[in-house]
Amino acid sequence: MRMSPRHTLAGAIVTATTLAISTQIAQADQFYAVQDPPEIEIGTVVELDNTQDPLVSTATETFTGFKPGKQGGTPAATDRPIFEVPVTVTTNADLQTITVVSLCLFQDDPTSIVSDVGNASDSDLATRCGFAQGGTLLNDDGPASVSPADTMAITYFGGDVDGDGTPTDVTSADATVTVDLNGDGTVDDAVYGVKMEDATAHTHLAYAPEVVTDTGTPGAYTKEVKFRFQLSHAMANSADDWYLRAIAVTQPPDYDNSGTSVDVAAQWVQSVQADGIETSTGDISTTAGYDMLYYGALTTTRTAQDFQTVVPEQAKTIAPITTPDYLANDTSDITIEATAFEATRDSVTDTLELADAADDAPTSGNVKVRFVCVETSAYDESSNGNEEPTAPGATELDLRLDNGDGTWQIPATGAPQVDVITGTNQSLLEDVAASNSTVGSEEAAQTPAEHQCTLDYQGGAAYGNEVYSNTVTMGIYDAADTDFTGNYFDGVTP
């Protein structure tokens, strides 16, 4: 009997073979994304209301230029303008990684610092402002010295300086002022401080800034530091050549590489701003900078002079007379003016007006006093004895300048001779040098040349044998300000 194939298959033993496949556990590739270098922006300059306490970021007037001033008022905040310059730093990391924000106001010089600033990595300003790219980038990396005639530098610093994840406290020895972190008017801690660079060499003054933070946008956290400061009177008066430079430093935290701490280099960014125009990448050398306005002041008084007895028709000169010391941030004119001479008897005042060059000799009913002053060094002694010298275009009266020993003096060529007239500011000393031109003594007052004054009384006063007196006021103005309008005027009346 034959078996069917089915039966044959059923009775057979069938073996199945399976292919073996080798597999591994999946591993994730990764990298440590170091934070981006910061971005920096300089905001709009504001002049604050310096009577407010605490200070409020509100402009009190249209900003027309920086105004320097002399420190010494009480309270200190009211003696000169306070300026505010906001600097905003943006980062994609924790804000405590921002360790330095520094602002520098500087005057361009003949080598054209600004024209060399071509991009954000440029560090040509480091000599004047400090914090060169590639430096230590710590809070002590500011300028080695600051001349108050051409530079002001102020630095906000602190945070996680060493990258260990913990902010480093700022000591009072490092900081000029500590910072109110939350704006409530009190210093919460000393994580950040502010210092005026080279503070002992000048009278620039730093105030605690307002600091505004914003962590609402991932990847674009911001810290706005509103720097507040007053400027030394020595800052040089000039137009269109003052610039702002700001830098920011961020210190990324150390990287933990399998238990080994790896340092990450600090990051640096710079921006330079002209008058309302900012750049971190372009050349602003063709853009006008800010203006620094004029400042002048007399720091001592002119001593009241006593001509003693004056006989009618005999002019009398006092020489020399010490001219007041002065401060000025540009070439200046020292001016003089006077009131009429007066005497009072039985409550009735007799007034002797001052004559000007156009007045005729005083006559009855037109009694006046001729009062003429001039820089002493502008006169040369003559050997004419008591003979009245003559000079082209000069009246005899103007030349009656006896120095008290019987020797007459002749005006040097081109020397100004001032008829002191009531209510008129006239240049007594012209083109005196700026007081800020001596390196190391930029803030010191200077002593100008002496002057002398001649009084010519022709008689006719109502009260004979009586003392007549007046008030002499001296002032200082920018020599280029021929109308005597001035930004500041500090007249001193003895």
In the chain, how many domains are there? 2
**343 and 412 housed in the same domain:** yes
Task: Identify whether 146 is part of a domain.
Answer: yes
Based on the fold, state whether residues 288 and 301 are members of the same structural domain: no
Q: Cα(355)–Cα(367) distance, rounded to whole angstroms?
A: 9
Q: Is 397 helix (H, G, I), strand (E, B) or coil?
A: helix
Quick check: is 472 in a domain?
yes
CA quadruple 394, 395, 397, 400: dihedral sign = positive
Query: Among 277, 292, 307, where does a domain finish?
Result: 292
And the tokens for 376? 């002493």
pLDDT (tens digit per residue) in 425-446: 678 888 899 999 888 899 999 9
Is 337 within 8 Å of 302 (Cβ atoms)?
A: no
pLDDT at 36 over 50: yes
How many Cβ atoms sit within 10 Å of the Cβ of residue 150? 21
Per-residue pLDDT at 115: 59
Sign (positive or negative) of CA dihedral 280, 281, 285, 287? negative
Whether residue 182 sits in one domain with residue 76: yes
Could you give the CA distance from residue 274 to residue 279 in angstroms, rounded to a whole number? Answer: 8
| Whether residues 175 and 250 fall in one domain | yes
Residue range 383-395: mean pLDDT, rounded: 32
pLDDT greater at residue 313 or residue 437: 437
Query: Is residue 361 domain-resident?
Result: yes
Answer yes or no: do 320 and 223 share one domain: no
Greater pLDDT, 62 or 447: 447
Residues 455, 318, single domain; the answer is yes
Nearest to 291 by CA among 227, 230, 237, 235: 237
Tokens of 185: 């008017």
Angle 59-128-36 from CA coordinates, rounded to 5°: 75
In a shared domain, residues 391 and 459: yes
161 pLDDT above the threshold of 60: yes
Q: Which two tokens stand for residue 62?
A: 């249209």
pLDDT in tens, 435-481: 998 888 999 999 998 888 888 887 889 999 999 999 988 888 888 87
How many Å apart are CA 338 and CA 421, to the nearest integer? Answer: 6
CB atoms within 10 A of CB 261: 11
Structure tokens at 126: 């480091």
What number is the average pLDDT over the span 240-255? Answer: 91
Digit-coded pLDDT (tens) for 187-237: 555 678 889 999 889 999 988 888 899 998 888 999 999 999 999 999 999
Decide if 19 is inside a domain.
no
pLDDT in tens, 116-138: 554 434 556 888 899 988 878 88
Domain of 425, in residue numbers: 296-478
Average confidence score pLDDT of the chain: 76
Closest by Cα among 31, 252, 266, 239 to 141: 266
- Do 210 and 245 fall within a single domain? yes
